[in-house]
Chain A
Amino acid sequence: MAKILAVDDSASMRQMVVFTLRAAGHDVEEAENGVQALEKARASTFDLVISDVNMPEMNGIELIRLLRQESAYQFTPLLMLTTESAPEKKAEGKAAGATGWIVKPFNPDQLLSIVKKVLG
């Protein structure tokens, strides 16, 4: 069981991620955008952060950039949810410090297998 932060401005995607991870026994918190996520991430320590890229207030790439600068998240897996249509987004995310990405659309099983992978 790991402590995971799920960040997405779309309530349906967020709920799907949260529900799936909780069903797998993880301790999940959620945030609607980067600003909220950063606050939550600073308030406690997560083993994994999964964030959407396109979000109002603060997008996922900026969130990852800022999280990487936090000493507590220097080595933490930070995954971004992205779509195939945006290869440059992947590069941008990597440059910001993302561990990797999960390509949308994905189903709960794919999500879980990736999470299992990064958590070791």
Chain B
Amino acid sequence: MGIDLSQFHHIFFEESFENVDLLEQGLLALDITQPDVETINTIFRAAHSIKGGAGTFGFQMVADFTHVMENLLDRIRSGQRTLDQDVVDILLGSVDCLRMLLTAAREGGEPDRALCVAQQERLEAALSDSRPASAEPAGEGEEGADSASARVSEQTGWRIVFHPHPELTQRGNDPLRLIRELKELAPARVTCDSSQLPSWDKYEPTRCDLIWTIELMQVVPRAQIEDIFSWVEDECDLAIVPMVKNVVLEGDNSSPSQASQESRPIAAGVSQIASMTEENENHDKKSGQVTRPPTSLPSGHTISQSIRVDLPKVDALINMVGELVITQSMLNMLRDEPELQGYDRLHEGLAQLQRQTRALQEGVMQIRMLPISFCFSRFPRMVRDLGRQLGKDIELVMSGENTEVDKTVIEKITDPLVHLVRNSIDHGIEPSEAREAAGKPRTGHVWLRAYHQVGNIVIEVADDGGGINRDRVLQKARERGLVPADGRLTPQQIDELIFEPGFSTQEAVTDLSGRGVGMDVVRRNVQALGGSISVESEEGKGTTFIIRLPLTLAIMDGQLIQVGDETYIIPLVSVVESLEPDRAMIHYVGGDTETIKLRGEYVPVIRLAEILGVHQPVRPALEDGIVVIVETDRQRYGIFVDDLLNQQQIVIKSLEDNYRRVPGISGATILGDGRVALILDVDGLMGLLKEKEGMVHE
């Protein structure tokens, strides 16, 4: 049968990468002085599983490599090899190599063979450190076959005497099956010796008290015969002897030809009796089952069950639910129609529909959620490696690994987090000696925390290192012209400077956090996810970076606003307040830039109608409309609109996917009445305004 194994590749890789992670986590969790048996078993099982799959699905290099790893792990498991730091290091190196091999296999790329060979040599060296008698398989069977074929010239076949032990049938094997298999190899004469059968009153139907002699009339490799009996070699007496020419018909059993004719009915009879009793047993069991409490059938176990689903399917589902939400809110608007008043059941139904839609939506969004441990799990290894590399003692403390967050958020937040953790280890934590001199514990700590906070997920990266050196930051910022030489900044403002593009206090870019990526990139990545990042630092005590992210990228709370005939949406997270300005609050700065003075601060105002080119018959005065104050990470400004509408949850549709990118707009949504409304990009609008002003000034 031609079954295309490649259809299983996808899932094989997915599970193998999970197993590689499991391997790595297990190795890191191992306490060398007191290795936990269960952890070692888990590690072994992960390697074993990869090997089995790789061999089956044809990834030989992966299978071979894992095989050596497995051997070493097996030695450790059985106590033949002591566990020390070197072995753990070699195994960790092998995990990396395995990951590389798997990646190459998945992407069809060329693996780094040199690395693989080198790593395999290290594994083998570790293996041979305590090598007992090994590598015994393979040889024997072939030898047997060779010696058999050596005798081929005079041999005419094989005589097999087969005496099954009672337990043979009790382990699900059937002598008849074995004889049939032998007969597939070559024509055979079968004789059955029933002399051992007890008398009927002592007859035990599940026992097999027959002895068969099977004469194969052709020469076949001995290994093939042994193969047939391989499952039962310990459950029978077996003799396989070559038959030579003149012995063929003169067997030591009497009247072989006659017996061979009898043997089949007898054998079949045994099997029949066996199956009859089996049926009786089954019957007994079935009747017994009725009285068995039904609780034993459905699962009461706490095994977490899961299925793998392709992401596009989930997204299609989420999209569909999004449409349903829109339809539902459309129906909801009908509730206010005068001609539908008095239909109580309709109204009840609509209210119910609203609740259920909301519940369905939340449930579906939950599917995309994964625990943040998917991202956190890489850090123990990274911190360990970096700490060793820099000669710093560092302990990583993680909490809230089970906090769930959207899969896309997890994917995109990993790089910024890696950068922050590297940064803490490289720049934050002082060298051990400096720590001791400062009266701090020698071992530095890095904390990675995740938790939920009102519709957001908060991730903190904290260290107990030296904290931000504000004098140096300020000095650098002045050199770079980021702040005026005489500008006065609060400590918080100074700390925030590290997020400015092109800011780096480190003289030489180190191998670690350097790589030309600064905090500004981290902040940009976080903002791209609709989140924000801030920093808190205390000199000598440490630094904490706090990242706030939306739980999901597909839904957000929006403030609906009206300009002319158009409806727009401002993300509610950006909105600080809304106000109707007094004439006295309005000021003009630098000619015609409108600002309002809010609690002593001048806030520039953008006229949305003008910046987006919405046609308006007259230019209303600021005091005739409403100003929505919004805040970005950079600055606060007002958006001038005609009217505020309601706030609601909206399903975000990408404008880029469906149309093209539009400056100042981050996406679109469909409102309850079926109209499309654009979502404002609060950061981008500011850019638009600056562009426009620039043009005016030129």
Contact = CB atoms under 8 A, between A and B. Distances in A.
B177 A105 contact: no
A39 B172 contact: no
Contacts, number: 137
Given A16-B56, A23-B3, A106-B56, A99 B171 contact: yes
Contacts of B278: 74-75
Contact of A112 (B1, B67, B180, B296): B1
Given A105-B52, A109-B1, A11 B11 contact: yes
Contact of A120 (B45, B71, B177, B285): B177
B55 interface: yes
B15 A85 contact: no
B297 A42 contact: yes
B560 interface: no
B301 interface: yes
Interface string B550-571: 0000000000000000000000
B12 A83 contact: no
Contacts of A108: 1, 3, 5
Interface stretch (B230-238, B489-497, B624-632, B662-670): B230-238
Contact of A10 (B15, B177, B274): B15
A14 to B, nearest CB: 10
Contact of A107 (B11, B56, B63, B282): B56
Given A45-B282, A85-B70, A11 B171 contact: no
A3 interface: no
> How many residues of B sit at the interface, in one of the four size bands?
35 or more
A8 to B, nearest CB: 9
B48 interface: yes
A54 B171 contact: no
A76 B173 CA distance: 8
- The dominant DSSP class at the B interface is helix
Given A104-B55, A104-B56, A118-B177, A72 B285 contact: yes
Nearest to A15: B8
B51 A83 contact: yes
B1 A100 contact: no
B181 interface: yes
B160 to A, nearest CB: 17
Contacts of B42: 56
A54 B301 contact: no
Interface string B271-291: 000110010011011000000
Interface string A68-95: 1011101111100101110100010010
A35 B181 CA distance: 34
Given A85-B71, A99-B171, A11 B282 contact: no
A66 interface: no
Tell me whether chain A's interface is mostly helix, strand or loop, or mixed: mixed
A66 to B, nearest CB: 13
A18 to B, nearest CB: 10
A4 interface: no
Given A72-B281, A74-B170, A77-B173, A104 B5 contact: no
Nearest to B169: A75
A117 B177 contact: yes
Nearest to A78: B172
A42 B299 CA distance: 12
Contacts of B176: 120
A113 B235 CA distance: 23
Contact of B231 (A10, A23, A56, A99): A99
Interface string B174-215: 101100110000000000000000000000001000000000
Given A16-B57, A56-B42, 12 more contacts: A12-B57, A13-B53, A13-B56, A23-B1, A36-B299, A39-B296, A39-B301, A75-B172, A97-B172, A100-B173, A107-B5, A117-B181
24 contacts: A11-B308, A12-B8, A12-B53, A16-B56, A19-B8, A23-B1, A42-B297, A54-B48, A71-B281, A71-B284, A72-B281, A74-B170, A75-B170, A78-B171, A78-B172, A83-B51, A83-B52, A84-B137, A87-B137, A91-B234, A94-B234, A105-B52, A107-B5, A117-B177
Interface of B: 1, 3, 5, 7-8, 11-12, 15, 42, 44-45, 48-49, 51-57, 63, 67, 70-71, 74, 137, 169-174, 176-177, 180-181, 206, 230-232, 234-235, 274-275, 278, 281-282, 284-285, 296-297, 299, 301, 303, 305, 308
Interface of A: 9-13, 15-16, 19-20, 23-24, 32-33, 35-36, 39, 42-43, 45, 52, 54-57, 68, 70-72, 74-78, 81, 83-85, 87, 91, 94, 97-101, 104-109, 112, 117-118, 120
